[in-house]
A and B are shown apart, each in its own frame.
Chain A
């Protein structure tokens, strides 16, 4: 039953049905994933990128057996996720970002002991395996403390240790670096890279483009429940070839100014990222058109910070792909 691929998804679909109201119940169906096809080779580090609500987590939950697809099929190491659930579960690990997913009132050691038992790690191997993982995630010496006293970064590392207890062939990492400080995020990336180097297949979802660019062998961009682009980071970056980026830091940009930027000749995409009071405007244009002067003219009278003109990055390519979907 072994397959060349660690993950195979064919026409994967998932709809959620919900009912509202008692007297006149109304059924609503939302299609979260609308036919996703991709394969991941054994030992590959594969990224799944997309905006919120794009269908990343739903796709992962269908692959890791937590949700039954409403259409299509998926296999992990050759085993069907719907019909051979237990075979799939023996081969996978699942780690998600955030504070949840651990027993807060138990120590890290008790959490790992319990999950080791649950995931079928033989009793004679448990002590050694737990010690190895505590070393790997640098929690050795803190394992007797209750998880409720752990920082976000420590919890995240414990999550990873939990996900690796049974040495899974495929590891699903769903936004593992969310809310983690930059130093902890860098350590996390190193841990993930080491895992892939030792042959574990990793499927990673993240919002951080730099993380995906640094780690992933291939990336799929998902939006509106469909794969919009798939390739190596370099291939995806080339989607923004022939473009130039003007990035402007500004404060209090009105919607009318943003609309005016979009209408400038040669402008292909615009995006705004808000960081507190600061807005970072990214304007993509055709490379042969110099729009910096036009952009600054449209923003006249608005308080500006740094203005930069540069080559496109993976993030710009991502904005292009998602914007076109």
Chain B
């Protein structure tokens, strides 16, 4: 079920003209922003790290708007009722959707790196070239699980997009995707430590510039597992709540 569901949702998402247009434009913009940001800071040696961080921001946006947007789209299409009334646990129904958004978001990471190479000549010189794809895969799974937790809210809310808009920038900022956590106020520390995106971003940065990749990967997986358990429990509660408040349909 998970495989077929993920494949079908990824297929459906990747055929959306809006998604295609966003996927073509956003990585270029993000690569340009990141590179100029780091160049103006006199950190020429960290351009690859900037490109990886920018790519990760793209994955996060894809998961966030994918999960929120996809659930809202399912509501508009009239398919949310159809999938939620299947004789399955709600988590089994929604998880393929959020993993699919992570997979389509992978394109954003790759495209940002490629544009960084083509436009700015950034050398793809990874400190741990074999650990990088593993860290990237773990990071995408982690974002998918985090998306699942968010999706439970989106199932309940008819205006899911509003919540997605609010969450985009704070999460990539607090997770240290582009800006180092050390420059942020200390009160953001505990929030950052609880987010799987922080550990995913750290694992990717360590694979890029050097450092202990595997502890960050392990931490990322552990928090993702927690997100999965919480998301599964939340979805069961939320599914019942949505049947009480009649929010599965558009009207």
Contacts and interface: CB of A to CB of B under 8 A. Distances in A.
Interface string B15-30: 1100000000000000
B119 interface: no
User: Which bracket fits the contact residues of A?
Assistant: 20 to 34
A110 interface: yes
A65 interface: yes
Contacts of A66: 81, 84-85, 243, 248-249
A103 interface: yes
- Count chain B CB atoms within 10 A of each CB in A102, A103, A104, A118 and give the residue with the most: A118
Interface residues of B, number: 28
A68 B249 CA distance: 14
B155 to A, nearest CB: 13
Contacts of A127: none
A73 to B, nearest CB: 15
Given A103-B77, A105-B12, A120-B88, 16 more contacts: A65-B85, A89-B85, A100-B77, A100-B78, A101-B77, A101-B78, A101-B79, A101-B82, A103-B79, A104-B77, A105-B16, A106-B11, A113-B8, A118-B1, A118-B86, A120-B87
A4 interface: no
A311 interface: no
B70 to A, nearest CB: 11
Given A16-B246, A67-B246, A106 B8 contact: yes
A27 to B, nearest CB: 13
Nearest to B78: A100
A40 to B, nearest CB: 19
14 contacts: A66-B85, A66-B243, A67-B243, A86-B87, A89-B87, A98-B78, A101-B78, A101-B79, A103-B77, A106-B12, A114-B8, A115-B82, A117-B1, A118-B1
A103 B12 contact: yes
B162 interface: no
A119 B87 CA distance: 6
Q: Which 7 A-B pairs have the closest CB atoms?
A: A100-B78, A89-B87, A105-B15, A101-B78, A118-B86, A114-B8, A117-B4
Interface in A56-113: 64-68, 86, 89-90, 94, 96, 98, 100-106, 110, 113
Contact of A94 (B4, B82, B88, B243): B82
A102 B8 CA distance: 12
A208 to B, nearest CB: 21
B243 A65 contact: yes
A1 B79 CA distance: 31
B123 interface: no
B5 A102 contact: no
Contacts of A101: 77-79, 81-82
Contacts of B85: 64-66, 89, 94
Interface in B39-90: 76-79, 81-88
A67 B239 CA distance: 10
Contacts of A115: 82, 86
Contacts of B1: 117-118
A114 B243 contact: no
Contacts of A98: 78
